Chain A
Amino acid sequence: MKQNSLYRFCAVSIILSVLCLAIGQALRSSYVKLDSAPSLSGQVAQATQSAGSGDSIPVPGKDFTLADVRYFSDKTWALVSFEPTSNDSFNAGLAILQKKDGIFQVVLGPSSTLPSDYSYSLPPDLDAYLSQKGVFN
């Protein structure tokens, strides 16, 4: 009798576990949680779509790292230099971000050089820094 109760308990546990897993999986399948990453790296990864990187986007820390982040014009502009970690198809480069609608967005790049036409579009301190670094072509 007692053993029958244990068998029943085991059966109920299995069914309950399977149900919990199934329902949990169904809920999780449409829920997207973005993992923590260094500031600006998510936006840079996302902007690599403009370089036609295929069906995936690089993962900060796994595919690339931010080598240098500099802020300009009262922290409303940022210059990010990034380097690949292991992925050969991902090249080192830089991206320029501008804070718009409360969030930094990549407005130029990712690229290794920048057209000089954009020199006039940038704040003077960032323009001067890029000119000094010879980034414009």
Chain B
Amino acid sequence: MNPTSNTERTVRLVAVGLAVITLVCIYSLVRAVINYVGSGTLSVTTPNDDSLISISRDNATADVVGKGTASVHVAPGRYLVGVGRNGDFSQKVVDVSKGNTTSLDLSATSTPRLPSSAAIDFQGTDMLLVRGMTSDQVSSLRKAIFNFKHTAKRAIINPNSVTSPPFDPNSATIGFSRLFTLIIDGTSYRAVASWTNLDSATLQLSDSAGTVVFDSDNGHD
């Protein structure tokens, strides 16, 4: 056995092994370059350094991409960017295109992602309670306002406007009602709350021309 030939054979084997490794590394680099070149940049900023930034998309996992700020390369497409902090959460849809930077400024908020009647700032209801309505009936009025306008933020009852209509002994209608002025997000309506039981009440709204614009018995007019 020639020791020189043995050494040469070993070196040759090592060289072949290294060549294979090098080819794998080059392939891996080419793939990384292709991904990078074909990607777009998504840049997200938040007002708080401890806000957790994540992205997700249809049929894929979600991934945390940074805290406070993030700038990442992603495949082109539509993404859902989420920002969470102390239990608050906000999300926004963004489109990322090849070679372009999509910037987004997003802060985590406690604002519900789905509007609800509970989100309406309903003021002046005390006078309805004083005038004999129950809290359940007032609650049903809140829901009626929400049905009238899902985006309503504030509904204010003018306490001085709450009146009880005179009882009509000849009327066949059984029930009670209260009349009042209701201002929903700055627009004034003449409102009639009516009820026949203590659990709920209906709401009818008329505009300044006297036209009925909503009746919770029938939904939108």
> Which A residues contact B (CB, under 8 angstroms)?
2-3, 6-7, 9-10, 13-14, 16-17, 20-21, 23-24, 27-28, 30-43, 45-47, 49-52, 55-57, 59-60, 96, 98, 100-108, 115, 117-118, 120-121
Chain B residues with Cβ under 8 A from A39's Cβ?
58-59
The A-contacting residues of B in range 90-138, CB under 8 angstroms, are 91, 93, 113-118
Further contacts, 17 of them, CB under 8 A, given A24-B28, A34-B62: A6-B11, A10-B14, A21-B28, A27-B36, A28-B32, A30-B71, A31-B35, A32-B74, A36-B61, A37-B60, A42-B57, A45-B56, A49-B84, A51-B87, A55-B64, A115-B118, A121-B146
Secondary structure class of chain B's binding surface, majority of residues: mixed
The A-contacting residues of B in range 1-23, CB under 8 angstroms, are 7-8, 11-12, 14-15, 18-19, 21-22
Q: What are 7 A-B contacts with C-beta separation under 8 Å? A: A20-B29, A21-B29, A27-B32, A39-B59, A46-B80, A57-B63, A96-B114
- When the two chains form their complex, are residues A34 and B56 in contact, meaning their CB atoms are under 8 A apart? yes
- When the two chains form their complex, are residues A20 and B60 in contact, meaning their CB atoms are under 8 A apart? no
Chain B residues with Cβ under 8 A from A36's Cβ?
59-61
Interface hub of A3, A52, A120 (most chain B Cβ within 10 A): A120
> Which B residues contact A (CB, under 8 angstroms)?
7-8, 11-12, 14-15, 18-19, 21-22, 25-26, 28-29, 31-33, 35-36, 39, 52, 54-65, 67, 71-75, 78, 80, 82-84, 86-89, 91, 93, 113-118, 143, 146-147, 150
